[in-house]
Amino acid sequence: VASVPVSCVEIPLLALEYEPPRTKSFKTIEASLRVDALASAGFKISRSKLVGLISNGDVRVNWSPVTKNGTTLKSGDVISVSGQGRLKIGEISTTKKGKFAVELIRYL
């Protein structure tokens, strides 16, 4: 930009156009709200492989590394796994048998 004139124009935020992220939503029934259980259901990875990823530091919850596979999650949390993608925890409800029906939103 040294020898080329540059001009800036302020535009309102509502004038910005963006494409919302593509997502896929599905429900799963889990016995607990642990990070290893929900991530294995959302990414279709076995829990034993996920425990290895957690110990390597490849799993993050809300952009913070997770070191314990028993970390409890809540609605609105975002799980990121290196090489797999990102997953958001949606609505959580309880079944008649006391298990958790969890809506998972996977970013494509």
Other Cβ atoms less than 10 A from the Cβ of 99: the count is 14
List the domain boundaries for the chain. Answer: 22-107
Domain at 22-107, CATH class: alpha beta
pLDDT at 104: 97
The total of other beta-carbon atoms located within 10 Å of residue 42's CB is 23
Is-contact 43 85, C-beta < 8 A?
yes
Per-residue pLDDT of the chain (108 residues; tens, 9 = 90+): 678 999 999 999 988 888 999 999 999 999 999 999 999 999 999 999 999 999 999 999 999 999 998 999 999 999 999 999 999 999 999 999 999 999 999 999
> Minimal CA–CA distance to 86: which of 54, 57, 59?
59
Residue 1 has a pLDDT of 64
What pLDDT does residue 2 have? 79
CA separation for the pair 77, 31 (Å, rounded): 18
Instruction: Give me the amino acid identity at 34.
Output: R
The model's pTM: 0.81
DSSP state of 66: -
